[in-house]
Amino acid sequence: MPKLMIWCYDNRRTVLPFITLAVMLLIWELTARYSGWSPHVFPSPSKVVYSMGELIANGALLRHSIASLFRVTVGFYLAVIFAIPLGIFLGRMEIFNLMLNPLIQFLRPISPLAWIPLAVLWFGIGDKPAVFLIFLSCFFPSCGGHGDSGSCHLIRFFFQVAANFKFNHWETITKIILPAIMPNVLTALRLTMGIGWLVVVAAEMLAVRSGLGYLILDSRNALRMDYVMVGMMMIGLLGIVLDELMRRLVHLHPSLQRPY
């Protein structure tokens, strides 16, 4: 017994989450069996696992998961391509920062879901409106902090350092600006990825006919709550994987080598 306790303590990062998961599954199973609710309303964990096996066997779960990941990836990368250069530009050009930052701060609090009607009207039905919504959800958090937070003044200081060393434009970007802003950028991108993953599920419920959001909506209409829960579980699992990938990317930067 003491050896088991020592092993559990040494591996508590694995043991404690496993215990929590086991307790939650036990409560779920007991509630499904003895609550009196119909299995069509509140399926048990064993039913959900069996339904997940069905969706895996017919390829539907993989197809919907890939569709959601594709939309998140495209929207996320488009946001990164536009937001980071814009943030650097606003940090260097004070006049443009004064002109554009109020507009960015005005648009940033608007939920991407509020754009759904316009996205459908502009882009129709398919991947484009979903990608557009993910782009919006990732764009503003990535570039919206260059106004009153002081980062614009910090970036101007970097350019003064570059001028003292007589760096050319490319050397300024690669040796001064990017290394200086990279810790904040990587942290922001990790948070932004999570926001994009949340938005894609809602976007898929209205604008497309594939993806985990569509799977949940279609299963609800068919009264297959077990499939609904499978979709929810996949959203959670893939969200953990994406966050772990971004966490590892953040930790690759020397200034962010610290445990979370």
Question: Residue 75: pLDDT above 80?
Answer: yes
Q: Could you tell me the pLDDT band of residue 57, with boundaries at 50, 70 and 90? A: very high
pLDDT at 146: 43
Q: Cα dist. 206→119, 125, 202 in Å?
A: 11, 9, 7
Question: Residue 81: pLDDT above 50?
Answer: yes
Residues 6+ apart with CB under 8 A from 124: none
For 199-237, what is each residue's pLDDT tens digit? 888 888 776 788 898 999 889 888 889 999 999 999 989
Contact (Cβ atoms closer than 8 angstroms) between residue 149 and residue 212: no
Q: Which of 10-19, 48-57, 177-186 has the lowest mean pLDDT?
A: 10-19
Question: Residue 58: pLDDT above 60?
Answer: yes
Overall average pLDDT of the 107-119 stretch:
86
Nearest to 231 by CA among 218, 209, 215: 215
Overall average pLDDT of the 56-71 stretch:
92
Overall average pLDDT of the 61-86 stretch:
90
For 185-196, what is each residue's pLDDT tens digit? 777 788 888 888
Start-to-end C-alpha separation, the chain: 31
Question: Residue 8: pLDDT above 80?
Answer: no
Mean pLDDT taken over the chain: 79
- Tokens 């496993």 correspond to 18
For 35-53, what is each residue's pLDDT tens digit? 778 777 888 888 888 999 9
Question: Residue 24: pLDDT above 80?
Answer: yes
Q: Dig out the tokens for 12 from the structure.
A: 């508590």
Question: Residue 175: pLDDT above 80?
Answer: no
Query: DSSP state, 255?
Result: G
d(CA 88, CA 176): 12
Q: Dig out the tokens for 194 from the structure.
A: 């999570």
Residues 6+ apart with CB under 8 A from 185: 84, 142
Q: Could you tell me the pLDDT band of residue 151, with boundaries at 50, 70 and 90? A: very low
Contact (Cβ atoms closer than 8 angstroms) between residue 138 and residue 80: yes
Q: Dig out the tokens for 191 from the structure.
A: 């948070």
pLDDT at 102: 83
Residues 6+ apart with CB under 8 A from 31: 42
